[in-house]
Amino acid sequence: MKDLLTWIGTLPPLLQVPIIVGLFLAAAAGIILLIEVAPRPGRKFTILRFAACVVIPGLAFLLLGSVWWAVGVAVVLGGLFFLLDYRSREGKGYIFALVGFLAPAFVLLLIGLVYPTFATLWNSLLSNRGAFIGFDNFVWVFSQPQNLVVIRNTIFWVLVVPVFSTAIGLAYAVFIDKSRGEKFFKVLVFMPMAISFVGASIIWRFVYDYRPADRDQIGVLNGLVTLFGGDPVNWLQQVPLNSFLLMVVLIWVQTGFAMVVLSAAIKGVPIEQVEAAQLDGTNAWQRFWNVTIPSIRPSLIVVLTTISIAALKVFDIVRTMGTAYPDTGIIANEMVTLLQKFEAGRSSAFAVILFLLVLPIVIFNARQIQKTREIR
């Protein structure tokens, strides 16, 4: 494995990318092939399974450089799946097979989710030197004016971004529904979703860019201002306007997501209900408010809660655009800043607060999904 990576490192950068991507795709294709082949009867599938029993240990030998490692991989994997297959035949040992196949997922959840959660809770009660100090970190969070600004900004992000993204996406979905060129219009709005938050932030930095009045303006906003005879404005230095200007970036990105989901929901509204409302003499607004909105309510909730969680966790936009500007901090950005200063306890306290803010949204979303299932 080391020799392979060393060899790839000697290649030109433009050649390294397709090789790494090709190796990844080959590994993914092999795993999918094994999943598809494993339960199927027949001679050719038996041959493929036998080949897998030879190829996988061989790859283990090449990657790990040890015959014993290869033998161990073959014995463990072969024995495990043989036992699971044997116990699950004719419905016997179903629980055993279920636990066996779900065990890796549970282990990953424990390692990647449960343990970090409890570790963060514990670290929030410790000082930077590891001494137990109780809730002093939380007292510090809520006693510093700058920290209150950070929490206030985070709440504003959650209130503003989901509402505007959903409203704009819904309006756009309604206006272009069944129109000529609908697919083209959807692509235009959905394109920002393909851009990373960092890339979107860089694009919008050019929109808000400021230069002194004696220099040429490359920012779109200041270009328009100076075109009509005004003086350029340093937009991202204007408090509290700068926070809302940063929110525009996330709204621009998430509107495409809202539009796609809500457009699909609108197309699922029964045409009989719309026609019945039209026969009752209702206008377009009344049909939209009394027929369309109730029919797409589950999708609206999913969109709102999803964007709300994204707004709570947003980090890239503020880190890329707002670090040097006053009063633009949010919780996720403050967590990283404190951690870089080796203040793990205070950073963990902010992480716990962020978790508590996300938790009600997740619970509400789960309950709505459960209600939808009960109705169905």
**Averages of pLDDT over each 10 residues, the chain, 376 residues:** 72 80 79 63 68 69 67 69 56 58 80 89 90 91 91 92 94 85 86 88 90 84 88 86 91 93 89 85 85 88 91 87 78 89 91 89 81 68
φ/ψ of residue 236, rounded to 5: -80, 0
| Paired tokens of 312 | 């709570």
pLDDT for the residue numbered 22? 85
pLDDT for the residue numbered 252? 94
Q: How far is CA 105 from CA 32, 100, 116, 200, in A?
A: 17, 10, 16, 34
* pTM: predicted TM-score of the whole model, two decimal places: 0.72
Q: How far is CA 107 from CA 67, 100, 110, 111, 115, in A?
A: 27, 11, 5, 6, 10
138-375 — its CATH code? 1.10.3720.10
Element (H, E) at 153: helix 145-176
Q: Which has the closest alpha carbon to 307: 270, 351, 272, 259? A: 259
Neighbours of 258 (CB within 10 A): 29
Cα–Cα dist 328/172, whole Å: 30
DSSP state of 132: B
Cα–Cα dist 375/23, whole Å: 46
pLDDT for the residue numbered 177? 81
Residue 126, SS3?
A: strand
pLDDT for the residue numbered 216? 83
Q: Please, are residues 192 and 202 in contact by the beta-carbon 8 Å criterion?
A: no
Residues of the chain with CATH 1.10.3720.10: 138-375
pLDDT for the residue numbered 156? 92
Instruction: Let me know how many helices (H) and strands (E) the chain has, helices first.
Output: 19, 0
Q: How far is CA 150 from CA 41, 156, 354, in A?
A: 60, 10, 11
Sequence-distant (6+) residues with CB within 8 A of 236 are 208, 210, 242, 245, 246, 321, 322, 325, 328
Q: Looking at this protein, which amino acid is placed at residue 83?
A: L
Cα 237 versus chain centre, distance = 29
Sequence-distant (6+) residues with CB within 8 A of 273 are 291, 295
Instruction: Kindly tell me the burial class for residue 309, based on how many C-beta atoms sit within 10 Å of its own C-beta (0-12, 13-18, 19 or more).
Output: middle
